[in-house]
Amino acid sequence: MERHLYQAHPVLDHGLVRVIDYMGDDSAITQAARVSYGRGTKSVSNDEGLIRYLMRHWHSTPFEMCEVKFHVKLPVFVARQWIRHRTANVNEYSARYSILDREFYIPAPEQLAAQSTVNNQGRGEVLQGDEAARVLDLLREDAMRSYDHYEAMLSQDGQQGLARELARMNLPANVYTQWYWKVDLHNLFHFLRLRADAHAQYEIRAYAEAMCGIVRDWVPLGLFRIRGLPPGRQCSFPRKASRLLRRRLAGETVTAEKSGMSKGEWREFEAVWG
β-bridge partners, 88: none
Round to whole Å and give the CA distance between 66 and 189: 11
Which residues are designated catalytic? 195
Mention every residue, 6+ apart, whose C-beta is less than 8 A from residue 163.
none
Round to whole Å and give the CA distance between 155 and 148: 13
Distances in Å between the alpha carbon of 143 and those of 83, 104, 135? Answer: 23, 7, 12
Q: At what angle do helices 239-249 and 263-273 cross, to 10 degrees?
A: 60
Handedness of CA 154, 158, 159, 163 (dihedral sign): positive
Handedness of CA 56, 266, 273, 205 (dihedral sign): negative
SS (H, E, C) 231-270: CCCCCCCCHHHHHHHHHHHCCCCCCCCCCCCCHHHHHHHH
Residue 74, SS3 per DSSP: strand
Report DSSP letters for 4-42, one per residue.
Answer: GBT--EEETTTEEEEEEEEE--HHHHHHHHHHHHGGGGT
